[in-house]
Each structure stands twice: as structure tokens, then as C-alpha cells.
A and B are shown apart, each in its own frame.
Chain A
């Protein structure tokens, strides 16, 4: 549940960087994504066609504050997004460094506090830092979105143990792996670990065949969730035969 909403799919898909609007439309459809992310930019003339894709998708819209480097910019962008998209959901990004696109945790918490007080339902793009996560919860966030790896890097889950700790530390908070996912296997791994959803964009948009890749991610996220619910076996150091030994024939030569 994300702010009281039960989503039909645990894949959240970004809409940027696709080869064409038609491919974007088809990728959204075959991915089965329940949420798509969007942004606000200076009106360039092609806005009407994009709005039609959003409307036709039937997906819930999650606007972002991508590109904002201060709390003030992010708050203003969120306020503008709420009016245009008619939703209180906001993917809060406050970028701290242009190379890593790593979140600025101090400005992030500050912006989250302001936006939560204004009635926004904030999805903060954060790191796996537990204390930052706690501060975001105190600020009013009821979802956290730790990065897997830097945005657009496709490195997957770069700090698996840190993410595992975060999952254990916030057992009742919906956690979404946001950014850095490059392959369906990585999304599947995140879901197996018990994360509630995965948000990705570039891995689909920049695939040779984005529509097929969107489908693969949809399947991977669903498979990972099912596996998590089914309960994974604990790993062991030594082998253990899966075929019963009882009734095994003696076929070796007699000593």
C-alpha cells in the first residue's frame, strides 16, 4: 500500500528517453506498470501529445522534482506539479551532486517536512542511510525510495547489505528501489529481498527493444514478488542432496 493505494503492479516506470511516443505508449502498456513518473518542464509545444499518452495509459501519475538542487526549488516544483497533474503524490528528488545525482539528504528532509505539512504524499528519493530514512519518516513520509545505484548507471543494487539492513530496519514502511536498475535480474533481486516496488526508466527506454524490455521487467518484478511471498530457502555452506538416498541401488563394483 502506497499512501492507502493498492497498486495493480509493483513496477513503476519512467517515461523519459524513449525512441518515440508510440514506443513509450506501448512500453507502458506491456510492462503492466501501475505507476508512471513524469516531470514538469518549460512548455515546448509537444505537451498536448504527451498529456494524451498519460491519460490513455490509465496509470497513476507520480510527478517528480528531477533537476532540483535546493529544497525551495523542489517545493515550488511539487506545488506546480500538484496543480497540473491533480495529484498529491510527488517523487521528491533534491540532487546533491551533478556527477553522482546523489540525493542531498539535508535539503531532502527539509523539503519533505514542508511538503508533508502542505498535504503532499511524498515519495523521497534517498539513499540506504537509516538515519536519513528515520528523519524522512519523522517529517511525514510514509514511503521511502532508496537508490539501487546512481540514476541511469544500470549498476543494479550496489550496496546489497545496506539495502538488506534498511529493509529490516523499516519493516512496515513501503520501500521502493528507485534508480540504478539496469537488468530485469536486478529488479527481481530487489523484489526477492522484500522491497515493495521498483522504479526504473533508463533500462527500458535505452534497451534495443524497449517494448520487449518493458515486458521483461514487468515479469521480473512479478516473479520476484511471488518468490518473496513464497519464502526463499536459507543458503548453506555445504551441499545437501535433493534426491533421496533411501532406496539407492548399489551399482558400484564390489571392493
Chain B
């Protein structure tokens, strides 16, 4: 199915947020996730299904002021 990951259109075989993180090679413990603009805590990623067109953000620490 096609989803939107960090603003990019992506075809994925993942069916949950947890699968997506692994499929895309993110370090699960150093990123935070949001689905449709709502925070998804790490323990809930496995129980969070993806649907076609889902809008996912995967964020990690960056420089900031």
C-alpha cells in the first residue's frame, strides 16, 4: 500500500507502525512517531495498524535553539 512517510510518498509492505520502522531501517529506540498528527508512544507502535494513505512522521534528535 502507499503511505506518506515524512512528507514522501512510499510503497510499503508494513501493516503496523512498528513494522514500518523496522522496514525503513530506523533505530526504533531513537525515533519518535506520529500518525495523522497524533503521537504514537513506542509501546503502541505494534498495535497501530497502517492504512492506505496514512500520514506518518518519524522524528529524531536534531540541532535546535
Which A residues lie at the B interface, using CB under 8 A? 14-18, 24, 37-44, 47-48, 50-51, 54, 63-64, 66, 72-73, 76, 79-81, 83-85, 151-152, 201-202
Contacts of A202 in B (CB 8 A): 65
Q: Are B62 and A47 in contact (CB under 8 A)?
A: yes
Which B residues lie at the A interface, using CB under 8 A? 6-7, 26-27, 30-34, 37-39, 41-42, 57-65
Q: Are B63 and A15 in contact (CB under 8 A)?
A: yes
Residue of B37, B39, B42, B62 ringed by the most chain A CB atoms within 10 A: B62
Query: How long is the Cα–Cα vector from A58 to B13 in the complex, in angstroms?
Result: 41
Which residue of the partner chain A has the closest CB to B59?
Answer: A40
Q: A43-B6, A83-B42 are in contact. Are A38 and B61 (CB under 8 A)?
A: yes
Nearest-Cβ distance from residue A155 to partner chain B, whole angstroms: 16
Q: Are B32 and A41 in contact (CB under 8 A)?
A: no
Q: Are A201 and B30 in contact (CB under 8 A)?
A: no
From A38, A73, A151, B63 is in contact (CB under 8 Å) with A38
Which residue of the partner chain A has the closest CB to B26?
Answer: A43
| Known A18-B63, A41-B59, A152-B65; 14 more pairs at CB < 8 Å | A16-B65, A17-B63, A37-B64, A38-B62, A39-B61, A39-B65, A42-B59, A43-B6, A43-B60, A50-B63, A76-B39, A80-B33, A84-B32, A84-B61
Contacts of B32 in A (CB 8 A): 40, 79-81, 83-84
Q: Are B58 and A43 in contact (CB under 8 A)?
A: yes
Residue of B34, B37, B39, B64 ringed by the most chain A CB atoms within 10 A: B64
Q: Are A76 and B38 in contact (CB under 8 A)?
A: yes
